[in-house]
A and B are shown apart, each in its own frame.
Chain A
Amino acid sequence: MKDMSQMIVEASGVTKVYGSGNTEVVAVSDVSLNVARGEIVALLGPSGAGKSTLLTILGLIRPPDAGRIVIGQTLVFDGHLRVNARTFRREHLGFVFQKANLIPFLTAAENVQLAMEINDASPREARLRTLELLEYLGIMDRADHLPAKLSGGQQQRVAVARALANRPSLILADEPTAALDSVRGRQVMELFRNVAHEQNTGVIVVTHDHRALDVFDHAMEMEDGKLRISQLK
């Protein structure tokens, strides 16, 4: 039994339905899950299982139709959105996607720095934290390069640095290694594990890649919008 005070995500009865009538699709059906601080969780399942939809719900990108979600002791949804989604994302959440989605006209360092300046950090403070993160992720020498001049793996590391910039309590990653080769993919997964363990951050990673499952503390599998398997290592 998990210690609930250490929970970063507590979700219960989360449901999301697209369309209506004959075109109705239940993308997420009555899903309940808990993720603890410092824990890295894999969300597995075939395409169309509802993994990404669940991630967008937990990331307050799309609201669910039903359920209750608490993130870091804050009730964010119980039939209605209880927080300002954009502000909450800015202050508490970090995102990494299959594509790095870096702003193309900003350098690697500026992409990271921007996330902090958006959250009202002073430029000096943001710059120091950026350099610290780039150093931590091993891409300090690429700090002043534009995204177009970075490899896929380097871009993804910058995206991770950006996700970590505001010290989020929860990182949501949607197939972050899909565009990378197996070696670089594993490096990124290990990076997430280190972040979770060293910075006491909850990390949920949607992935198809079963080869790197040993990296995770906890793996869940979704099928037809339902959580089928939930297993602890």
Chain B
Amino acid sequence: MNLAIKDIRHNLGRFVLTTFGISLLLMLVIGMGGIYRGLVEEATLLLDRIGADLWVVQKDTRGPFAEISRIPRSVEDRVLAVPGVESASSFISHTIQREYRGRPLRLTIQGLSWPADRGQWLPIFSGRTIGQAHYEMVADKSSDLNVGDRIPLGKNIYTVVGLTYKMSSTSGDSMAFLTLTDAQDVQFDLSNEAIRNEREARVNRLQSLDLGNVQPQLSDIVGGKSSGIPALGTSMVSAVIVHVKPGCNPSSVAAKIASWPDVSVYTHAGQSELLLRGMVDKARRQLGLFRVLLIMVSAVIMALILYTLTLDKLHDIAMLKLMGARNSVILALIMQQALLLGILGFFIANLIGNWLFPLFPRRVVIVQGDLMQLAVIVIAISILASLLGIVKALRVDPSEVLS
């Protein structure tokens, strides 16, 4: 006869409510682990999707994800000339926040090196990839944009032609993909008045120089588009991503590029480590500590609940002892209830989590390994939590039946 089950059936309502309470606590523990995994996955998502062998960034920076990096787009051509390089493309990434349909729209813009890169590697959920050089956008569905939406950015309007899924930046913002030139237009957009002021300032600066007096026709050039002035150089990008030829060692190609004095270069693994160590590490430790605290709180609450349940049964336990029941009978009664409470709580936590976590604004990634680890911890804390009740029960004097 299983006394634990009989007792639970007799006090089913209380047991169900208690288990539900424990499951909510355990769900928070699972959620904390999932949020951390989500951070890691979001941090390395784009890196893994692009799958570049090397990242060439501004000298002595950890960019483009860890900090701002600016390199001339011409670096792309220099990189292509390095032996062992199969392809190189410019990469641009920046975050914008605009008002759209009365709500803030926050997007991390990624520039695709059109026409070589049309975004065919993107996980398209609905619609298509970018099909023309300008004014098309692929957005992540977490942005709440729909195919066909027309988004004004800068002086242009971009049409959403496709939706991706699970493409978020390291800060959890939805990603949007434009061609590289469109992404630059959005990034360096200035108002017409600002452009006119800048052109006027350039002309004034020129006229104050001897050069302006000697060559007055130069004022026509400096008063025009910035891109038309050779001295201002080429446009800037965040990084250049490099794929090496099959069979070629990325480290040896990286060593050649790293010898240039104006850039730094990272392998895929190096960039990934920079992201995780630099950006996610503090969040990981914070969430880890919070998780440990939650487990401790769960253990204390479980111990108190089991102790209270045991106190309610002290008279029955005294009677069992008086009848000659072995300690193992009493121990099993308490420990089986503790384990049932923990295990059922864990499964319910899982069920609630599976339903609730997808509604969270940031990704919550539940990994089987983490669940297994937590299951072992739950069993351990169930056993530990029951010890307080067991000690109390084993100290009960059978003569208490007479009181």
Is the Cβ of A101 less than 8 Å from the Cβ of B324? Answer: no
Is the Cβ of B399 less than 8 Å from the Cβ of A56? Answer: yes
Is the Cβ of B6 less than 8 Å from the Cβ of A97? Answer: no
Cα(A88)–Cα(B324), bound, Å: 8
Q: Digit string of A52-82 for contact with B (CB within 8 Å is 1, else 0)?
A: 1000100101100000000000000000000
Most buried by B among A52, A87, A105, A118: A105
Interface hit among B70-78, B108-116, B236-244, B315-323: B315-323
Q: Digit string of A98-113 for contact with B (CB within 8 Å is 1, else 0)?
A: 0001011110001001
Chain A residues, CB < 8 A from B399: 56, 61-62
- Say yes or no for B214: interface residue by CB 8 A criterion: no
Q: A105-B7, A117-B1, A118-B329 are in contact. Are A86 and B321 (CB under 8 A)?
A: yes
- Say yes or no for A216: interface residue by CB 8 A criterion: no
Is the Cβ of A118 less than 8 Å from the Cβ of B325? Answer: yes
Cα(A123)–Cα(B2), bound, Å: 11
- Say yes or no for A115: interface residue by CB 8 A criterion: yes
* A149 to B: closest C-beta gap in Å: 12
Is the Cβ of A174 less than 8 Å from the Cβ of B402? Answer: yes
Is the Cβ of A52 less than 8 Å from the Cβ of B6? Answer: no
Cα(A104)–Cα(B316), bound, Å: 8
- Say yes or no for A114: interface residue by CB 8 A criterion: yes
- Say yes or no for A208: interface residue by CB 8 A criterion: no
Cα(A174)–Cα(B322), bound, Å: 14
Chain A residues, CB < 8 A from B9: 105
Cα(A95)–Cα(B9), bound, Å: 27
Cα(A34)–Cα(B323), bound, Å: 24
Is the Cβ of B324 less than 8 Å from the Cβ of A87? Answer: yes
- Say yes or no for B10: interface residue by CB 8 A criterion: yes
- Say yes or no for A119: interface residue by CB 8 A criterion: yes
Is the Cβ of B10 less than 8 Å from the Cβ of A105? Answer: yes
Main SS of the interface on chain A? helix
Which chain A residue lies CB-closest to B318?
A101
Interface size of A as a range:
20 to 34
Most buried by A among B316, B322, B323: B323
- Say yes or no for B326: interface residue by CB 8 A criterion: yes
Chain A residues, CB < 8 A from B316: 103-104
Chain B residues, CB < 8 A from A114: 1, 3, 323
Chain A residues, CB < 8 A from B3: 103, 105-106, 114
Q: Digit string of B315-344 for contact with A (CB within 8 Å is 1, else 0)?
A: 110011111111001000000000000000
Residues 1-50 of B contacting A (Cβ, < 8 Å): 1, 3, 6-7, 9-11
Is the Cβ of A95 less than 8 Å from the Cβ of B323? Answer: yes
Count of interface residues, chain B, beta-carbon cutoff 8 Å: 22
Q: A117-B1, A123-B1 are in contact. Are A104 and B10 (CB under 8 A)?
A: yes
Which chain A residue lies CB-closest to B315?
A101
- Say yes or no for A142: interface residue by CB 8 A criterion: no
Chain A residues, CB < 8 A from B322: 59, 61, 89, 95
Is the Cβ of A61 less than 8 Å from the Cβ of B11? Answer: no
* A178 to B: closest C-beta gap in Å: 13
- Say yes or no for A184: interface residue by CB 8 A criterion: no
* B403 to A: closest C-beta gap in Å: 10
Residues 287-322 of B contacting A (Cβ, < 8 Å): 315-316, 319-322
Chain A residues, CB < 8 A from B329: 118
Which chain A residue lies CB-closest to B10?
A105
Cα(A59)–Cα(B6), bound, Å: 28
* A204 to B: closest C-beta gap in Å: 15
Residues 120-137 of A contacting B (Cβ, < 8 Å): 123
Which chain A residue lies CB-closest to B316?
A103
* A64 to B: closest C-beta gap in Å: 13
Chain B residues, CB < 8 A from A97: 401-402
Is the Cβ of B402 less than 8 Å from the Cβ of A52? Answer: yes
Q: Which of A56, A62, A87, A118 meets B320, CB within 8 Å?
A: A118
Given contacts A52-B402, A105-B6, 18 further A-B contacts (CB under 8 A): A56-B399, A56-B402, A61-B322, A86-B321, A86-B326, A88-B324, A89-B324, A90-B323, A90-B325, A97-B401, A97-B402, A101-B319, A104-B10, A104-B316, A106-B1, A106-B6, A114-B3, A118-B326
Cβ-closest 3 pairs across A and B = A90-B324, A105-B10, A89-B324
A-B contact pairs, 25 of them (CB 8 A): A52-B402, A56-B399, A56-B402, A61-B398, A86-B321, A86-B324, A86-B326, A88-B324, A89-B323, A89-B324, A90-B324, A90-B325, A91-B324, A95-B322, A95-B323, A97-B401, A101-B319, A103-B320, A105-B7, A106-B3, A106-B6, A110-B1, A118-B320, A118-B325, A146-B10
